[in-house]
Amino acid sequence: MNPVPMRSQTRQLTTHVEERLLKRNRISADFFAREAGRLALACREMSERFLKGGRLLAFGRGPYSTDAQHVSVEFVHPVIVGKRALPALDLSAAFTAWIEALLRPEDIVMGFGPPPGDPEVQATLDRAHSRGAMTFALPGAAGSYPVAPATDHPFIHQEVIEMLYHTLWETVHVFFEHRELGHDVGDSAFLYPFLGQQKQSTDEIVEQVAESIQMKVADDARLREQAARDAAGQIATAVDAIRERVAAGGKLIMFGNGGSATDANDFALDCVLPPDGYRPVPAVSLSLEPANITAIANDVGTDVIFLRQLIAQARPEDVAVAISTSGGSRNVVAALEEARKRGLATVALLGCDGGEILRRGLAGFPLVVRSDYIPRIQEVQASIYHIIREELEIARA
We report the CATH number of the domain holding residue 57 as 3.40.50.10490
223 lies in a domain?
Answer: no
* Whether residue 238 is found in the same domain as residue 106: no
Q: Specify if 260 maps to a domain.
A: yes
Whether 196 and 256 map to the same domain: the answer is: no
Residue 46 lies in a domain: yes
At which of 186, 218, 250 does a domain end? 218
Q: What does the pLDDT profile of the chain (397 residues) look like in tens digits?
A: 344 455 667 788 999 999 999 999 999 999 999 999 999 999 999 999 999 999 999 999 999 999 999 999 999 998 766 778 999 999 999 999 999 999 999 999 999 999 999 999 999 999 999 999 999 999 999 999 999 999 999 999 999 999 999 999 988 988 887 765 543 444 444 444 444 444 456 667 788 889 999 999 999 999 999 999 999 999 999 999 999 999 999 999 999 999 999 999 999 999 999 999 999 999 999 999 999 999 999 999 999 999 999 999 999 999 999 999 999 999 999 999 999 999 999 999 999 999 999 999 999 999 999 999 999 999 999 999 999 999 998 755 5
Regarding whether 243 and 196 lie in a shared domain, the answer is no
Do 383 and 253 belong together in one domain? yes
| pLDDT at res. 293 | 98
The pLDDT assigned to 6 comes to 53
196, 218, 240 — which closes off a domain?
218
3-state secondary structure of 344: coil
Domain membership flag for residue 371? yes
**304 in a domain, yes or no?**
yes
Q: 318 lies in which domain range?
A: 231-396
Report pLDDT for 186.
Answer: 46
Do 328 and 359 share a domain, yes or no?
yes
Q: How far apart are CA 190 and CA 95, in angstroms?
A: 37
pLDDT given at position 324? 98
Residues 202 and 266 in one domain: no
Residue 26 CB burial class (10 angstroms; 0-12, 13-18, ≥19): exposed
pLDDT of the residue at 193: 44
Cα angle: 155, vertex 283, 88; to 5 degrees: 60
Which of 184, 218, 252 represents a domain boundary (last residue)? 218
Cα separation values, 43 from 39, 109, 157, 178, 205, Å:
6, 13, 21, 13, 12
Please tell me the distance from the alpha carbon of residue 167 to that of residue 369, in angstroms, as a whole number: 19
| 21 shares its domain with 50 | yes
Residues 341 and 247 in one domain: yes
pLDDT (0 to 100) of residue 396: 54
Separation CA 185–CA 188 (nearest Å): 6
**Residues 257, 202: one domain?**
no
Regarding whether 246 and 170 lie in a shared domain, the answer is: no
Give yes or no: residues 206 and 355 share one domain: no
Give the Cβ contact number of residue 80 at 10 Å.
Answer: 16
Global confidence as pTM: 0.92
Q: Are residues 282 and 137 in the same domain?
A: no
The amino acid occupying position 30 is D
Domain count, the chain: 2
Position 9 in a domain? no
- 254 φ, ψ (degrees, to nearest 5): -100, 150
Return the pLDDT at 197.
44
Q: What angle is formed at CA 191 by the lines to CA 387 and CA 255, rounded to 5 degrees?
A: 35
